[in-house]
Structure 1
Amino acid sequence: MKLLLAIILGGAFGFVLHRIGATNPTRLIDMLRLSDLKLEKVILFSIGTTMITLFTINTLFPGAVHFSVRAAYWGVFVGGLIFGLGFALSALCPGTGVAALGEGRKDAVFYVLGGLVGTFLLALSWEWLAQTALFQLVIDGTPKPVLAEGVVVRGHELPALIHLPGWLTALIFGGALIALAFVLPRKLRDK
């Protein structure tokens, strides 16, 4: 049943990505160049709406949503740089890459295969990488403050920067993202 649900939700997500143009390389390059902000507006609206929805569900039904907060370490930043470079070069990210593969785009075949090979190599080298400096916490390994209360990483609750309940923090920041989606101009620069 879980596999069927994953296939249905994944297919629906891919369909939405296709419909909003997120699988179109020209539109993605225009997004990265800030010459067409339609996708940015959709992304901001989606993140804000999801943030508010998940925290509302979790407040009404405690434990219904599993939040997994990861610690910051150098590997996250290096991985982010590699991801960003790959996104800029291919005009694809994991979600749009699989959706583009579903459309039958040949470049997406290489993108998805590269992602699978990279994942396989990471799995093979995980034990070694976990011992390197790239996978240590960024600043001296001590817990760092996070935005909302109740965040637990590696068994330790992290101090909060804002002493508000998670649902209220989500409402404030989610609402700000939704508002930003509406006030953001159509483009910041010409092509």
Structure 2
Amino acid sequence: MSLLYGLITGVLFGILLQRAEVLRFDKQVGALRLKDMTIFKFMLSAIVVGAVGIYLLKDFGLITLNLKGTSLGAQMIGGALFGIGWAILGYCPGTAGGALGEGRTDAAWGILGMLAGGAIHAWAYPLLKTYIEPIGNLGKITVPQLLGINHWIVIFGFTVLVIGFFALFEKKRL
């Protein structure tokens, strides 16, 4: 049943990506050049809504969080690879799948790259676990835990920051 839920939410997310026009190459390049903030607005909105939803479910005891450990070394290398791939291809992983669904065959190269990267990661994981994951290993921790404050304070502060960014983006017509 969870696979069905995943399929349904994936299709709904794809529809939202398409409707927000973030699958368009010009929006992707505009985001990379910091000239079009459509993608940032979409993702920041999703982060705020997701944070509120997840922590409401957690506070009502309907879910428990299963955190993955935080490794600054792994996140910096992974983020750099993500950014390089996005810059070269012009799509991030989610938008590559959506763009392929819209018939843009150039996105298939990105999907093949993701599959190849996953295979390389699986092959190299023993080395990564030994040498990269220990760099900046903070353990299983959230930002509210790191700051020692209630998660709703962090969510509220982040939401205010996002609204401020949105106001700036609108003022600059981004």
- Tell me the TM-score normalised to structure 1 length: 0.79
RMSD: 2.5
* 1:183 corresponds to: 167
Q: Tell me the SS of whatever aligns to 1:185.
A: helix
> Letter of the aligned partner of 2:159 in structure 1?
G
* 1:4 corresponds to: 4
> Letter of the aligned partner of 2:135 in structure 1?
L
Q: Which has the higher contact order (CA 8 A, sep 6+)?
A: 1
CA distance in structure 1 between the partners assigned to 2:141 and 2:6 by the alignment: 34
Q: Tell me the SS of whatever aligns to 1:137.
A: coil
> Letter of the aligned partner of 1:59 in structure 2?
D
Map Cα deviations across residues 64-109 of structure 1 (whole Å, 9 max, x no partner): 1424243223232112111111111111111111111111211111
CA distance in structure 2 between the partners assigned to 1:144 and 1:4 by the alignment: 29
1:1-191 matched pairs, under 5 angstroms: 1-61=1-61, 64-132=63-131, 134-138=132-136, 147-149=143-145, 160-161=146-147, 163-177=148-162, 179-186=163-170
Structure 1 residues 43 and 142: alpha-carbon distance in aligned structure 2, compared to 1, 3 A threshold: closer
* Deviation of 1:123 (Å): 0.9
* Deviation of 1:144 (Å): 10
More helix by share: 2
CA distance in structure 1 between the partners assigned to 2:100 and 2:31 by the alignment: 20
Instruction: Out of 33-42 and 19-28, give the one that drifted further.
Output: 33-42
CA distance in structure 2 between the partners assigned to 1:142 and 1:45 by the alignment: 27
* Deviation of 1:143 (Å): 6.3
* Deviation of 1:57 (Å): 2.1
Runs of 4+ aligned residues of structure 1 deviating over 4 Å after TM superposition are 141-146, 187-190
> Who wins on radius of gyration, i.e. which is larger?
1
Which segments of 5 or more consecutive residues in structure 1 lack a partner in the other structure? 150-159
* Deviation of 1:2 (Å): 1.5
> Letter of the aligned partner of 1:137 in structure 2?
I
Work out the number of aligned pairs and report it: 174
Are 2:48 and 2:159, in contact at CA under 8 Å, matched by a contact in 1? yes
Q: Tell me the SS of whatever aligns to 2:23.
A: coil
Are 2:58 and 2:64, in contact at CA under 8 Å, matched by a contact in 1? yes
Structure 1 residues 187 and 65: alpha-carbon distance in aligned structure 2, compared to 1, 3 A threshold: farther
Structure 1 residues 187 and 109: alpha-carbon distance in aligned structure 2, compared to 1, 3 A threshold: farther
Are 1:45 and 1:181, in contact at CA under 8 Å, matched by a contact in 2? no
CA distance in structure 2 between the partners assigned to 1:168 and 1:87 by the alignment: 33
Instruction: Out of 68-77 and 83-92, give the one that drifted further.
Output: 68-77
Structure 1 residues 142 and 41: alpha-carbon distance in aligned structure 2, compared to 1, 3 A threshold: closer
